[in-house]
Amino acid sequence: IKENSRTIDETNMGNILPYTHSNGEMGVAEYAIDTTPESKEFQWIIPSTDNVRLGNPAWISVDNRKDAYAFIFSKGGLTVSAGVREEVGIPGLEVDGGGVSLGEHGSIGRGTRYDGVVELFIGEYEHMEREVNAFSSFMPFRNGFELGEVEREREKHNLTVRVHLRHTIPFSSYLSTLTGLPIPFIEIELWNDHLVAQDAVNFRTASFEIPEGSYVMKAYRHGIRGKTFIGVQSLDFKEDATLHLFCTFQGELHVAAPEGSTILILKDKHIVARESMNALEISIPLPALATYTVQVLYRGFLMEEESFFLPFSRSLSFDFDVHDFRVVMKDTLGMAVGVNLTLLMTSDDMCEEEFITPVKKGDEFCFCDLPEGDYLIIARYKGFEVRRGVSIPAETSAELVFPAEYTVKVHTFDRRGFPTRSRVVFVRNGVVCDTDTLPPASYEMKVYDGKKMVARKAIKVSSDAAYDVVTTKSTMYPYVVPALVTILLFFRRKIEGLCALMLSLSLVFSWWRLRGGTVTDLYLFPPKMIEMGASSGIIVSLPSVMHMALMLILALLCAAIVLLLLDRYAAYAVVPLSVSVVMFVILLVSFGGVAVGSAWGSGTVEDVHATWGPGLGFYAALVSLMVIMSRMVIKFRVKTRET
Among residues 172, 212, 218, 174, the alpha carbon closest in space to that of 195 is found at 218
Percent of the chain with pLDDT over 70: 97
Give 166-208 pLDDT, tens digit per residue: 878 777 877 777 777 778 899 999 998 888 899 999 888 999 9
With 0.85 as the threshold, say if the pTM is over it.
no
Mean pLDDT of 623-628: 91
Average pLDDT over residues 397-408: 95
**pLDDT reported for residue 143:** 53
Annotated domain spans of the chain: 2-140, 156-247, 251-317, 323-401, 406-470, 477-640
CATH architecture of the domain with range 477-640: Up-down Bundle (1.20)
Q: What angle do CA 421, 415, 539 make, to 5 degrees?
A: 95
How far apart CA 33 and CA 63 sit, in angstroms, is 10
Query: Pick the residue with more confidence: 38 or 287?
Result: 287
Whether 156-247 shares its CATH topology with 251-317 is answered yes
Mean pLDDT of all residues belonging to the chain? 90
Going from the C-alpha of 601 to that of each of 375, 517, 574, 592, 611, the distances in angstroms are 68, 16, 29, 10, 6
Q: Which CATH architecture has domain 323-401?
A: Sandwich (2.60)
State residue 150's pLDDT score. Answer: 45
CA distance 386 to 180: 61
Report, in this order, helix, strand and coil percent for the chain, each rounded to 5. 20, 45, 30
Answer for the pair 142, 135: CB distance below 8 angstroms, yes or no: no
Residue 273 belongs to what H/E stretch? strand 270-276
Length of the chain: 643
152-161, 519-528, 602-611: range with lowest mean pLDDT:
152-161
Homologous superfamily (CATH) of 406-470 is: Carboxypeptidase-like, regulatory domain (2.60.40.1120)
In this prediction, residue 643 carries a pLDDT of: 66
CATH architecture of 251-317: Sandwich (2.60)
Reported in sequence order, the residue ranges of 331-383 that DSSP labels E, i.e. its strands, are 342-346, 359-361, 364-370, 373-381
Residue 398 pLDDT exceeds 80: yes
User: What's the pLDDT score for residue 182?
Assistant: 78
DSSP assignment of 520-558: EEE-SSS--EEEE-SS-EEEE---HHHHHHHHHHHHHHH
Nearest to 400 by CA among 378, 374, 381, 383: 378
- For 198-232, give one letter per residue: b (16+ CB within 10 A) or e: ebbbbebebebebeeeebbbbbbbbeeeeebbbbb
Query: Do residues 584 and 554 lie in contact, with contact meaning Cβ atoms separated by under 8 Å?
Result: no
Higher pLDDT, 290 or 154: 290
Q: What is the mean pLDDT of residues 523-531?
A: 94
User: 320 pLDDT exceeds 50?
Assistant: yes
Least confident piece of the model among 139-153, 342-356, 399-413: 139-153
Count other Cβ atoms within 10 Å, centred on residue 286: 21
Q: C-alpha distances in angstroms, 470 versus 37, 346, 411?
A: 16, 49, 9
Residue 399 has phi, psi (to 5 degrees) of: -120, 125
- Convert the pLDDT of each residue in 246-287 to its tens digit: 999 999 999 999 999 999 999 999 999 999 999 899 999 999
Question: Which pLDDT score is estimated for 142?
Answer: 67
Q: With 60 as the cut, is the pLDDT of residue 152 above it?
A: no
> Hey, how many other C-beta atoms are within 10 angstroms of the C-beta on 556?
19
- Residue 151's pLDDT is 45
Give me the pLDDT at residue 492, please: 67
As a CATH number, domain 156-247 is 2.60.40.1120
- Asked if 405 contacts 303 with a C-beta cutoff of 8 angstroms, the reply is no
The model's pLDDT over 50-100, given as tens digits with 9 standing for 90+, comes to 888 998 899 999 999 999 999 999 888 889 999 999 888 888 888 898 889
Backbone angles phi, psi at 321, to 5 degrees: -85, 140
pLDDT given at position 181: 78
d(CA 237, CA 240): 8
pLDDT at 299 over 80: yes
- For residue 381, the cross-strand partners are 384
What mean pLDDT is predicted for residues 292-302? 96
